[in-house]
Amino acid sequence: MLYELTAYELNKKLQKKEFSSKELTDAVNSRIESVEKNVDAYVTFIEGKPDNNDNVAGIFRNIPVAVKDNICTKGIKTTCSSKILENYVPIYDATVVKKLKEARVAFTGKTNLDEFAMGSSTENSAFKITKNPWDTKRVPGGSSGGSAAAVAAGECIAALGSDTGGSIRQPASFCGVVGMKPTYGLVSRYGLVAFASSLDQIGPITKDVTDCAHLLKAIAGHDAFDSTSLNTEIPDYPKALTSNVKGLKIGVIKELVAEGIESGIEHVFSEAAKKLESKGAQIVEVSMPHIEYALPAYYLIAPSEASSNLARFDGVRYGFRAQAEDLLEMYKKTRSVGFGEEVKRRIMLGTYALSTGYFEAYYGQAQKIRTLIIEDFKKAFEKADVLVSPTTPSTAFEIGEKTDDPLQMYLSDIATIPANLAGIPAISVPCGLSEGLPVGFQIMGKHLDEMTVLKTAYALEQTIEFKEKPKLN
């Protein structure tokens, strides 16, 4: 089936004219028609038209790609899966969308997410709950659950997600696909609807590491429209894809392979690490003593930034507006009705943390902990070239299982949040199954060292040869 192949494989076959671009688009559209009713990955569909310009290079030409619905698309609704932006149509493209248009991808649509990217299960969408293609009674993870589920189900070949505290890597782990959060500032955030500006980063979700490297190359680069964009040379990421990891020092973070990790996850992770060791890599244990404070620090910093960023949704300039007798009542009604429960919870948390008398005690302290975690990473990287851990403490949980307990939901991001706080690159690669559900192996690298992260991920992928697919009809 064409929808099961990677972009790299499809590009080779398209060049050999084994099938046409239209046949590929039709195959993916047919797959969407067949399984979308069971998965609910999309908020909006886009009719991708094949490009006939043979002068355009790159493996993503005419490849069906989905975009998370918090990334702006000119003339196409961008809802953030929120009632407040239900009918919002941007007048410009996000920089990453512009880059994908230049690469001549065939867009399939905008994918579902936890409202404003706030959540770990894609149950917080105002429109629908996305299901995990491996077991439709389970969540796909979040907040980029729609993108990860669409890739896993063959409803697109690759997708873009955004990652603020694990929102690419955690759903990639749950859905058995590859997901990467690049170094903060490597990929432009212009046109990404902001959640937490010092943490947000756009990245690829793909079927394998090769596609991930190629898609990252397509979207990375300096952007004058993003003041946090890094003006740095972009390496040729696909050149990192060699299986030679002889002498590579791989640091296992002991605090992330400890209490709270499911035994099945720990076993699959340990076996995968041994396979890298068998290829000549050196496994060392590293300690990051402040990493246990990453979760509380994140849940002060991210809501504080969200409180500030979401203040713009007031019913005046764009988006949903409630009918009211006066301006103040209109503000209150618009935000009460327009935002979902989780978004309101985080706005209140953030507003409290930033308020007079509490700012230094909460937000200020959280930023100090962030600095300590960055220092922990620097020390750990003195002992190892990359750092590894399970991506998630559990496999995909059942829909509704954690909705009444926000703290349990937040704990599913315990291993992914530290990389966002430090701004370093991290990837999740499927490394096996635990009780029939995918397990993700997380690899973190030094600032701007995506090449070593991708090399390690590729070596792991080639060694494990994870071939299992969800049995979705």
3-state secondary structure (DSSP) of residue 469: coil
What Å distances lie between residue 442 and 103, 425, 453, CA to CA? 29, 10, 10
Q: Does the bond joining 143 to the residue before it have cis omega, within 30 degrees of 0?
A: yes
How big is the chain by its Cα radius of gyration, in Å?
21
Neighbour order of strands in the sheet with 42-45: 42-45, 106-111, 64-68, 158-162, 202-206, 178-181, 426-434, 437-445, 386-390, 249-253, 282-286
Q: Shortest CA distance to 196 belongs to which of 163, 218, 151?
A: 163
For 176, the token pair is 């058995």
For 262, the token pair is 């499911």
Half-sphere exposure of 24 (CA within 13 A, CB side): 32
Tell me how many degrees the CA angle 166-168-170 measures, rounded to the nearest 5: 60
The residues near 207 (Cβ < 8 Å, ≥ 6 apart) are 6, 7, 151, 157, 158, 177, 178
DSSP 210: H
Q: Shortest CA distance to 413 belongs to which of 448, 389, 385?
A: 389
Strand partners for 106? 64
SS3 content of the chain, % helix, strand, coil (to 5): 40, 15, 45
The residues near 300 (Cβ < 8 Å, ≥ 6 apart) are 349, 350, 353, 362, 363, 365, 366
- CB of 416 closer than 8 Å to CB of 427: no
Type of residue numbered 448: L
Q: Any idea which residues carry the catalytic annotation?
A: 68, 143, 167
The residues near 222 (Cβ < 8 Å, ≥ 6 apart) are 188, 229, 230, 231, 232
The residues near 168 (Cβ < 8 Å, ≥ 6 apart) are 144, 147, 148, 161, 162, 179, 180, 181, 203, 204, 205, 428
What Å distances lie between residue 13 and 2, 23, 66, 101, 103, CA to CA? 10, 12, 21, 21, 18
- CB of 61 closer than 8 Å to CB of 51: yes
